Structure formats: structure tokens, C-alpha cells
Amino acid sequence: MQHHPQQATLRQLCDGLAAGKFSSYELTHEFINIINELNPALNCFISVDAERSLAQARAADAKRATGNAPPLCGVPIAQKDIFCTQGWLTTCGSRMLSNFVSPYDAHVIERFNGVGAVNLGKTNMDEFAMGSSNETSFFGPVHNPWDRGRVPGGSSGGSAAAVAARMAPAATGTDTGGSIRQPAAFTGICGLKPTYGVVSRYGMIAFASSLDQGGPMARTAEDLALMLNVMAGFDARDSTSLQRDAEDYTRELTPTFAKPLAGLRIGLPREFFTAGVSAGVSKAVESAITEYRKLGCEVVEVSLPNMALSVPVYYVLAPAEASSNLSRFDGVRYGHRAREYANLTDMYEKSRAEGFGAEVKRRILIGAYVLSHGYYDAYYIRAQKLRRLIAQDFTEAFKLCDVIMGPTTPTTAFKIGEKSGDPVQMYLSDIYTIAVNLAGLPGMSIPCGFDNGGLPVGLQIIGNYFSEARMLNVAHQFQQVTDWHARAPKDAQKAVTS
Ligand code: GLN
């Protein structure tokens, strides 16, 4: 192929396909080669099926030849292994589903198929999306392409590392407490968690249903917008899917329509800039804020007084919902069944004991406990009340500002094994992201610099409900005057020159 597509953005690939510079078949073939080369070291993909992907690519080329193809027709996209994908192994990172071939497509997958996008493979993830490091996956940890001894974040760590290493131009992720934004920050890419209800959860294996939301991961804000245009939309099969008019999320990005940032009020929550943030992260975030001031933004201090409660509240509510959602994996209705057992109860117990990993079991136990008679009021109900207060804090803050900014994570990527023995330390890596899920707000992370060790830092942008188009514009304008998003780890260049 004449033009090397590996470093191209999703937008450039769409344009290249439209202009006939390369075919979807060539493009898909190229990315599969890169995956074959890098995956043994990085472990980003759980399943790759070149034949299926190339068949989709051929169909996309045929569709394009008819002259009316949607922008993403023929573009290869990696799919998080939490999305049920017909005919594909769909494991959710668990032994429990390690041989589950989905008989149907999730809404999100249907959407990508509908526009003729190519499924490049299913990406590695923390088991049932529970984790912040990808270390809880039954299929082994994912390695961060910026430093293979470090985690890529989680739970969408395979998607994040694949996009950062240029093994895929874009990928899907899901975010229950930070699983799109935190890995995006750790790998130097962009990720967006939409307003709760914008992307259908149908066919997205459930963790905590009142918090789970699918969203795009890519290298630029514009690419996130292109992805969200496909992913968003009403779906009657998800009872919390929102019935709204379709939006074009790129509408504020083209030069003619791009809203200037002059006068935009950026709220900096006092609680986000405390001693808990590492020096490297706070330095990069502060320079990003300075850049926004230069673009004409005003900075105001805001407060989210109940923020400190978001981690404990989340670790009551998310496990409660998980314990209920995961009851279906009993070796009968779904999932792994133990080979030997004495009776029915023994079969359930052995199947679940073998099928689930330690973190998932921990969550099921916590969840069953906080929902049990006698503790329900003290934990579950109280956490629900606090959830409301956390959401109200944001409502108050948005009276003073248009967007909220701060760090996505307190530190940059940590070492593999560094926190896996201490669940609470692990839970604290989501301290800045979890409140956004509790409130149902949209949040994103974009690259804004590096720490002294050369590891990427993420800037978090939180918007009011349904302000995704505006947030994407805010990120896009930053990316017009900075190049943090364009930096690539060494691994990503290796494939090009080899
Ligand atoms: N790290 C958080 C957890 O372990 C969030 C995970 C997620 O967003 N899926 O629950």
C-alpha cells in the first residue's frame, strides 16, 4: 500500500477510503499484520479472526463501489470484549464466558455493522469490567505500549493500548466508574463516556446497570465524534436508553461552525487539586489550563463537597448491582459448568468458584452483603441518598461554569503488580472519574502532557448532561494548538519501519 495508514487518524482513513486511495481490504489487512506483530507482546486482543474481518472489508468495498457509503464504511474498529458480537467469542475477560460464542449482536455492534465498519477483533479487559489495570483478566494482563512493565489502565485496557500502539485506529470501551477515561489517560489517547442513556446497553454484558455506559476511544476529539455518531441512539431494548433526536457530534468541529472558546467558563473543583495528585500529573494539567486561558477561557473555582464520598458510595452500589447481574452465570443459564459435582447446589458452587476470579468474587460478596436484610438500609439506601447529593454538587457547580476540568487520574500508569495486592489502592485510581458516573454526566479524557518518566497524563473534561458536542469542541480546539494527542509510543513506530 502506498500510503501508510497506521499513523492516520480515523478521519484521515475515512477520507482515504472515500477518495479511493486504498481499499478497506488493504487497510484491514495492514492492521491485522500489525496486530499479529505486536499482540504477542502487548496482549491487547483476546480474539482476532482475520477471515471474518477481511470478509467484512470486502463487503464494505462493494458497498462503497455503489457510491453511497457512510463515512465509517470500511474502517476497521476494535471492539471491547464486553460487547456481544454474533459468531465471535465474547468472553468479558472471564473464564466464566471463555467459550461463549454470542448468538446475537449488541446494539453498538449492530450500529457499526450497519455503517459497514469492519470488526478488527475483540479487546482484552478486566474480568466483567471490574478493575483499573487489566490485571483481573482471565486472559492475562495488557502491557502499556509506553512502558511494557506498566499497566494500560482498565477496564478498557486492551482497547486503550491497541489504539495507543496504532494496532487499531479506534476502539469501543465501557465506563462504569472510569474504565474509558482512566485507560485513555494511562495510554495517551482520547476517550469519552457519554451521558448515561445516550448509548444503548443492549448486548453489553452488564456490570452495574445504573452506571454502565459505552463510549468511543480514539486519538483525536474529532475521531471520538465520528465514533459517537455511530454509537449513540435510541434503542427500545434498553429500558434506560433515551429517546432523543439524533445529533451530529461533529457539528461544532468544522472551522465554519467551530464555536470559539472565548468566554468559556472552566470550573476547577477545589477537591480535584489536593495533595493526592502526583507532581507530574498536576504540572501537565496546569499547563493545559494555561493553554485554555490563552484560548480565551475564564477559569473559576468550584466545589464538589461530597466528592470524597464517591469511591465508598460506588463500592456499595456497583457491587450491589453486580451481585444481581452476575447471578445468571450459574453454569446452567449461562457460563462455565464444573466437570464434577455431587448435587445441584454443589454444581452451582463449583461452577461459580471456578468460573469467577478473585476480584469478581469480592464484588459479589460485598454486593450480597449490602443488599442483605439488616444491612440494606445502613449501606445500600444510604449510598443511594449520597449518590443524589453527589449529583446535586455538579448541578450547583454548573451554575458557575460551562465545563469542569481536572486530572483524570491521580498518577500516571503504575507498574504491573504494584497495586494488585491492595484492592483499596486500586479503587482509589478512579477517585476523579467515579463521581461522573454516579451523576450520569458525560466525561472525557484527552492527552495533555507527560510526567518526568515519559508517561502520558490525561486531562479530564466533564460537561453538563447532553453537552458532548460542546465538550468535543473544547477538546478539539485544544488539539488544534497542541500536539500531545499526536505523540506515539515507540511500539507504535516499530511496526511501521519493520
Ligand atoms: N475501576 C472501577 C471498578 O473496578 C471502574 C471500572 C469500570 O468503569 N468498568 O469498578
For residue 132 and ligand 1, the question of a CB distance below 6 A is answered with: yes
For residue 443 and ligand 1, the question of a CB distance below 6 A is answered with: no
Tell me, in angstroms, the distance from the centre of ligand 1 to residue 430's CA: 8
Confidence of residue 275 (pLDDT cuts 50, 70, 90): confident
Quote the radius of gyration of the chain (alpha carbons, Å).
Answer: 21
Q: Of the candidates 408, 482, 478, 475, which has an alpha carbon nearest to the alpha carbon of residue 178?
A: 408
For residue 310 and ligand 1, the question of a CB distance below 6 A is answered with: no
Confidence (pLDDT) at 257: 63
Residue 302 has pLDDT above 70, yes or no: yes
Tell me, in angstroms, the distance from the centre of ligand 1 to residue 365's CA: 16
Confidence of residue 495 (pLDDT cuts 50, 70, 90): low
Closest ligand 1 atom to Cα of 179: 8
Closest ligand 1 atom to Cα of 180: 8
Confidence (pLDDT) at 258: 65
Compute φ and ψ for 266, nearest 5 degrees: -100, 125
For residue 129 and ligand 1, the question of a CB distance below 6 A is answered with: yes
| Residue bearing the CA closest to ligand 1, atom 5 | 177
For residue 176 and ligand 1, the question of a CB distance below 6 A is answered with: yes
276 alpha-carbon distance from chain centroid: 24
Residues annotated as catalytic are: 80, 155, 179
Residue 130 grid coordinates: 471490574
| Residue bearing the CA closest to ligand 1, atom 10 | 130
Q: 101: buried, middle or exposed (CB in 10 Å: 19+, 13-18, 0-12)?
A: middle
Confidence (pLDDT) at 2: 46
Closest ligand 1 atom to Cα of 430: 1
Confidence (pLDDT) at 496: 52
How large a percentage of the chain has pLDDT more than 70? Answer: 97
Tell me, in angstroms, the distance from the centre of ligand 1 to residue 304's CA: 21
The per-residue pLDDT for range 56-111, each reduced to its tens digit, is 999 999 999 998 899 999 999 999 999 999 999 999 999 999 999 999 999 999 99
Which residue out of 125, 128, 132 has the highest number of ligand 1 atoms within 8 Å of its CB and is therefore the one to mutate?
A: 132
Confidence (pLDDT) at 498: 43
- pTM here is 0.97
The per-residue pLDDT for range 167-178, each reduced to its tens digit, is 999 999 999 999
Tell me, in angstroms, the distance from the centre of ligand 1 to residue 339's CA: 31
Compute φ and ψ for 290, nearest 5 degrees: -60, -40
Contact indicator for 380, 115 with CB cutoff of 8 Å: no
Which residue out of 92, 137, 179 has the highest number of ligand 1 atoms within 8 Å of its CB and is therefore the one to mutate?
A: 179
Contact indicator for 301, 404 with CB cutoff of 8 Å: no
| Count of beta carbons in the 10 Å neighbourhood of residue 426 | 21
Which residues make Cβ contacts (< 8 Å) with residue 485, sequence separation at least 6? Answer: 188, 189, 190, 219, 220, 446, 447, 479
The per-residue pLDDT for range 399-449, each reduced to its tens digit, is 999 999 999 999 999 999 999 999 999 999 899 999 999 999 999 999 999
For residue 467 and ligand 1, the question of a CB distance below 6 A is answered with: no
Confidence (pLDDT) at 494: 57
Residue 358 is which amino acid? A
For residue 180 and ligand 1, the question of a CB distance below 6 A is answered with: no
Residue 451 grid coordinates: 510526567
The per-residue pLDDT for range 128-168, each reduced to its tens digit, is 999 999 999 999 999 999 999 999 999 999 999 999 999 99
Average pLDDT of the chain is 96
Tell me, in angstroms, the distance from the centre of ligand 1 to residue 153's CA: 10
Residue 388 has pLDDT above 70, yes or no: yes
The per-residue pLDDT for range 338-371, each reduced to its tens digit, is 999 999 999 999 999 999 999 999 999 999 999 9
Residue 188 has pLDDT above 80, yes or no: yes
In total, the chain counts a number of residues equal to 498
For residue 179 and ligand 1, the question of a CB distance below 6 A is answered with: yes
Closest ligand 1 atom to Cα of 315: 10
The per-residue pLDDT for range 230-274, each reduced to its tens digit, is 999 999 999 999 999 999 999 999 766 667 898 999 999 999 998
Distance CA 157, CA 82 (A): 12
Confidence (pLDDT) at 256: 63
Residue 314 has pLDDT above 80, yes or no: yes
Tell me, in angstroms, the distance from the centre of ligand 1 to residue 110's CA: 25
Tell me, in angstroms, the distance from the centre of ligand 1 to residue 425's CA: 13
For residue 130 and ligand 1, the question of a CB distance below 6 A is answered with: yes
